[in-house]
Amino acid sequence: MKKIVTLLLITISTIASFAQDAIPVSDVAKKFRFGLKAAPSVCWLKPDDTRFERGKTVMKFGYGLITEFRINDIASFLTGLEVTYAGGGLNYTDSVYRSLNGKDYLSDPATAFLIKKREYKLQYINVPLSLKMKTKEIGLMAYYGQFGFDLGVRAKARATDTGYLNFTNNKSTLSSIAKVEAKQDVGLFRVALNIGLGVEYGLVGSTVLVAGVNYSNGFTNTLKKNSPDLRSGTNAAITQKATSNFISLTVGVIF
C-alpha cells in the first residue's frame, strides 16, 4: 500500500508541474477530447503461494469511454470509464476441496470436489488514471507513451473447476464444473500499474484513430486472503494470494 501511495503522489506531482505551462482555459476545443475504445487482451493470474502454480493464460475483451484533458502541448491527463474482463488459471499443487451443495464433505466425502485446476473469469468496472505524453504530429501521425493506474471494482466473478468428484472412488475420472459463482473468493477491488505506448493517426478535422499496447500489472490480491469456499483436508479455509495481469491492444477513435 505504501508503494501505491508513493506512485500516486509522484503522478500527481508530475501532472501539477506540467500544469504550470497549461494552455489557456478559453481554448476549450483543444483542451478536452473524448472517444471510444475496444481492448482485446491476454490475461493471466500470478500466484504468490506455494499451494498454486500459474495456470492457463486466457483471451479477454474490454471496452469503454476515453476522456482526455490536455495540460500543455505534449502532456494530457487521461481517464475514462471501462468494462474490463480479466482472469486466468491456477493449478493446485496441494489438496484443495470445494464442498458441493453446502454439505460437510468430511463426514460425507462423496459431496467433495477435489480441485486440480481453476480458471477464473472476472469482470471489473475500471477507472484509469494516467499521464499521457505525446510527440508533435509527424505528417498525420503522432506517438505517445502513458503511465498511470487502473482502479477497478469487481462486477462479476465466475470459475470453471477441473478435478475429481467423489474422489474416494478409485474409478473417479477428471471432470469439470463450469459457471461456478466465485464472488466469495475474489476481492472487491483491483489496483494496478498501467503503462503503454501507441500512435494516433489523423482522420478528419480533430478526429484521430488511436492504437496502442498497454501492460496492466496488478498490485492488490485478486483473491480473498482466506477463502470461504475452498478448504484444506482439515476443512480449514485455505490462504491464497494471486495478482491479475494482462497485456491489451487498444484500438479506438478520439474526437
* pLDDT tens track for 38-81: 999 999 999 988 788 999 999 999 999 999 999 998 999 999 99
> What is the pairing mode between strands 112-134 and 75-99?
antiparallel
The pLDDT assigned to 85 comes to 97
pLDDT band for position 231 (50/70/90)? confident
Nearest to 234 by CA among 59, 79, 97: 97
What is the distance between the alpha carbons of residues 6 and 14, in angstroms, rounded to a whole number?
12
Which string of b and e fits 26-57 if b means at least 16 CB within 10 Å?
eeeeebebebebebebebbbbbeeebbeebbe
- Find the range with the poorest average confidence among 28-42, 66-80, 129-143, 238-252: 28-42
Residue type, 224: K
Domains and CATH numbers, the chain: 2-254 (2.40.160.20)
Q: Which of 25-29, 59-63, 79-83, 169-173 has the lowest mean pLDDT?
A: 25-29
Instruction: Determine the Cα–Cα distance for residues 162 and 175; give it in Å rounded to an integer.
Output: 6
Q: Please report the beta strands in 100-173, taking only residues with DSSP state E, as ranges in sequence order.
A: 112-134, 141-165
Average pLDDT over residues 79-89: 97
Tell me the range of 6-15, 28-37, 108-117, 218-227 where mean pLDDT is highest.
218-227
219 phi-psi bin (left φ>0, alpha ψ -120 to 50, beta other):
alpha
Closest to 42 measured CA to CA, from 254, 255, 248, 251: 248
Contact assessment for residue 104 and residue 113, using Cβ atoms and an 8 Å cutoff: no
